[in-house]
Amino acid sequence: MKLFLRIALHGLAATLVCLPWGAQAQGAGYYYSPYGGYRPEFFLGGSIGSSFYPDQRSATANWLNNTYTATTPLSPGDFITTFARQDWADFAAKLYGGTWITPNVGIEAGFASLGRIGWSTFSTNTTGSFAVTNSGRVAPHAWYESLLVGLDSFGIRYFLKGGAYEASTDLESSGFNLNTGAVNGASETVHNSGGLVGLGIYTAYYHTALRIEVEDFINVGQSSVPLTSQIPPWRGSILVISAGAAYRF
């Protein structure tokens, strides 16, 4: 098991162990004011976990097939065959801040690093006159803002979140033609915005807050590029499971 998955799983386990301790804090999410009544709770925190990526192998292979067919002279029936592989998960981390305006409604903004995955392919034609290997990297990160809707039960708050993100995704590609020895490579950064949904568990004890959450960054990346580009398009929803702590004030 990769190191980042071990760290993420240990973090999740530690948070689960701490939840009963944190559940002693009845009414978490609002501070009592000495001037009477309650006031909103503000928080700053961070989380670590794992990001899980959709399978883009077929999309990458199809794009490369179309590209090579368009740019390489092929005889009738001289088809391209592409084998593709892709990493499926990586380490994720985020920093965030916000406020619970009431025990049931809050707002949050933050920055999320969604990891970095690699992909590779092998393409050839039936005559053996064309064979090339390709590889690349996908590294997205995003700024986000979201609305939190929660429900308290015995000192634990269960919450849903929904909002929007602005993502920046670094794309890299390199290729090597096994017949000619030609090497090519390119890199590009694409930007897009989209929706964010999630759910989580939150509990607090004095100034410490613990949380576990699952988030879905919907359709990160770009869906199409010209066939003359050396970088295949990459676009998909990224699932993030994380655990962390925050300071509340």
Q: What is the pLDDT of residue 69?
A: 83
Mean pLDDT of 9-14: 47
How many Cα atoms are found within 13 Å in the side-chain-facing hemisphere of 134? 27
Q: Which of 71, 56, 55 is nearest to 230 (CA)?
A: 71
Quickly count: other Cβ atoms within 10 Å of residue 14's Cβ.
12
Q: What is the pLDDT of residue 38?
A: 65
**Residue 102 in contact with residue 40, Cβ under 8 Å?**
yes
Question: Which comes out higher in pLDDT, residue 197 or 222?
Answer: 197
**Residue 201 in contact with residue 19, Cβ under 8 Å?**
yes
Report the relative pairing of strands 117-125 and 183-205 from DSSP bridges.
unpaired
What are the phi and psi torsion angles at 62 (to 5°)? Answer: -65, -40
Q: Provide the domain count of the chain.
A: 1
Q: Kindly indicate the confidence band of residue 200, based on its pLDDT and cuts at 50, 70 and 90.
A: very high
pTM to 2 decimals? 0.82
Domain that holds residue 26: 3-248
- Rounded CA-CA distance 191/72 in Å is 30
Q: Kindly indicate the confidence band of residue 50, based on its pLDDT and cuts at 50, 70 and 90.
A: very high
What are the strands, taking DSSP E only, across the chain?
A: 30-32, 38-52, 80-86, 89-100, 105-113, 117-125, 131-153, 156-177, 183-205, 208-221, 235-248
92-127 pLDDT per residue, tens: 999 999 999 988 899 999 999 999 999 999 998 887
Please report, for the domain that includes residue 129, its CATH number: 2.40.160.20
